[in-house]
Amino acid sequence: MREMDVVGVRAQMPNNEPIVLLREVGGHRMVPIWIGWNEANAIAEALEGLRPPRPLTHDLMIDTLTGLGHTLKEVHITELEGGTFYAVLMIDGVEISARPSDAIALALRCQAPVYCAEDVLEAAGFEEEEEAEEEVEKFREFLDHVSADDFVDEGGEGEDDGHDGDDDSPGDAGDDGPA
């Protein structure tokens, strides 16, 4: 397992699909994971350190764990099968299966490290080039000036792409795998 930094979320063109981008700590490999718009919003809010006045799903999960005396220790991105990524939450020695997008959103909220299996890095990762490093820096500047509200339409909802983000089949915007 390799520790990963969460670089941020962005829309992958040309289909305007959201991804979360992970970078290997101390390395040059990056892994894009396709996610749904609701998950992109949750990750962006966590990266900005925002906490809503009332707990949303990820906040509720963390509050529940804390209330029960448990801690999310780390997140593992464990597999890539058929274009779908798989993850587990490590909670006090117990592994709980989760979608990577939800696992990352939770990890960011409680400052838990995110790790990626070497075989997943080899299959889905790409080497960061010097030009890419400049692009990542531009992206970080963008993140410094964007708010989670930028991922929500005027009605207060995430973009409606016709998917509810709960379908884990390949090709769904919320499947944590490339379309």
Strand order across the beta sheet in which 17-24 lies: 94-98, 84-91, 72-81, 114-116, 2-12, 17-24, 29-34, 126-127
* Domain 2-151 CATH class label: alpha beta
Measuring CA to CA, which residue among 85, 171, 93, 89 is closest to residue 120?
A: 85
Instruction: Using pLDDT thresholds of 50, 70 and 90, give the confidence band for residue 177.
Output: low
Give the DSSP per-residue string, 95-145.
EEEE-HHHHHHHHHHTT--EEE-HHHHHHH-EEPPHHHHHHHHHHHHHHHH
Across the range 20-42, mean pLDDT stands at: 91
178 against 6, higher pLDDT: 6
CA 31 to chain centre: 11
Measuring CA to CA, which residue among 119, 121, 115, 139 is closest to residue 29?
A: 121
What letter represents residue 105's amino acid?
A
150 against 167, higher pLDDT: 150
Domain residue spans of the chain: 2-151
Residues 42-57: tens digit of each pLDDT: 898 889 888 778 878 8
Whether the CA torsion 123, 94, 108, 42 is positive or negative: it is: positive
Instruction: Using pLDDT thresholds of 50, 70 and 90, give the confidence band for residue 169.
Output: very low
Across the range 99-118, mean pLDDT stands at: 95
Q: pTM value?
A: 0.70
User: What does the pLDDT read at residue 3?
Assistant: 96
46 against 160, higher pLDDT: 46
Instruction: Using pLDDT thresholds of 50, 70 and 90, give the confidence band for residue 165.
Output: very low
Among the residue ranges 50-54, 87-91, 169-173, the one predicted with the least confidence is 169-173
Coil, strand or helix at 114: strand
Which H or E element spans position 45? helix 37-47
Check pLDDT > 80 for residue 167.
no
For the chain, what percent of residues have pLDDT higher than 70? 77
